[in-house]
Chain A
């Protein structure tokens, strides 16, 4: 598999949100605006790349029966590091993402990639897989956040271009489900044509 192929697979063929449908909790919870979605995506991507690299490097030394606890400890350590860094240097983003940062630990994408890819492949390939899946997640969350923000508040990335309140339902929980479903349909439509 070529390197580019590996990254593209993460974004299109194995897109974690639209194809694998993993990590729905942060997807629905944090995408109230494009910036929040992007922040969550990038935070997850950092954890994913770091955990993929580490796990592919140590997988050979871990006895089979305790591999999941080992992976979780590694992932939790990286999540906490990202949390400390966000809290210290990007406090505004940390405040909006709040509870969802610690929840990256139990995000199925991260553990899923560790189990499905990182422990069978080389360090380099795992890093690229983390990058691809992370980018796919970030792009998906940013799209959902952008659509919800535009419809819900008439703004994009915090820049308001329509006066007034917008359709509030889209910023609330039901809007998350509706937007996710429609974007998933559009994504499937486009990718199935190609294949």
Chain B
């Protein structure tokens, strides 16, 4: 069937195969590079558009592990979309939270998750209890934890851990928001949100 193996022909044949394969991969990579970048960009833009009111342009910045997109319409800031990562029941949970300039949560979007299908995975559904619960709330005034932990938000039935993770993400995003928002929420003395200790 095959040729007898000598050191020379083994090295030669493996080298040729590796060379050809890498050349091929290089070509395919350069062809698909732009479409892949476009897909990634569209995903982020869709998420921003989903969590904020109408805007014209976005400005990008970073804070630690979170990505911040400041949405502007003309010169005015319409809102802040903050992308954060927490860990849910099944693994990492990436989400985006949109704040209006006064700190009110406009909407949330779950970008990727690995929660249990049929249970925690409902978090990707806009109408799920915690996501509907935080909409229009302000983390400065509301206690954004699940009702089981004494908070104001209902958890997804049988998925408290996922709901907790989601709310932890919301609170983490709010912490980032507090740091970057130019005129913080008009409140005297920082009300330390009692949300952290609950986890």
A contacts, CB < 8 Å to B: 32, 58-67, 69-70, 73-74, 76-77, 80-81, 84-85, 87-89, 91, 95, 119-120, 152-153, 165-166, 168, 171-172
Contacts and interface: CB of A to CB of B under 8 A. Distances in A.
A59 B32 contact: no
Contacts of A91: 39, 43
Contacts of A63: 2-6, 9-10, 13
B2 A64 contact: yes
5 contacts: A61-B3, A64-B1, A66-B14, A69-B14, A88-B39
Contacts of A76: 21
Nearest to A84: B32
Q: Which of B5, B10, B118 is the most central at the interface, judged by chain A CB atoms within 10 Å of its CB? A: B118
Interface centre among A62, A73, A119 (most CB of B within 10 A): A62
B35 A89 contact: yes
A145 B35 CA distance: 30
The secondary structure that dominates the B interface is: helix
Interface of B: 1-6, 9-10, 13-14, 17-18, 21-22, 24-25, 28-29, 32, 35-36, 39, 43, 112, 116-119
B111 to A, nearest CB: 10
B3 A84 contact: no
A92 B170 CA distance: 26
A172 B35 contact: no
A88 B14 contact: no
Contacts of B17: 58, 62, 70, 73-74
Contacts of B6: 63
B11 to A, nearest CB: 9
B29 A84 contact: yes
A165 B112 CA distance: 22
Contact of B36 (A58, A60, A77, A84): A84
A77 B117 CA distance: 32
A67 B3 CA distance: 10
Contact of A64 (B4, B35, B119): B4
Contact of A165 (B5, B18, B118): B118
A85 B28 CA distance: 8
Contacts of A65: 5, 10
Kindly name the residue among A63, A73, A119, A153 whose own CB sees the greatest number of chain B CB atoms within 10 A.
A63
Contacts of A61: 3, 13
Given A77-B21, A77-B24, A87 B36 contact: yes
Contacts of A89: 35
Given A63-B13, A77-B25, A81-B25, A32 B1 contact: no
Nearest to A77: B21
B2 A59 contact: yes
Given A63-B13, A91-B39, A152-B118, A81 B1 contact: no
B21 A73 contact: yes
A38 to B, nearest CB: 17
Contacts of B36: 84, 87-88
B32 A85 contact: yes
A6 B123 CA distance: 47
Contact of A88 (B9, B32, B118): B32
A32 B90 CA distance: 16
Contacts of A172: 116-117
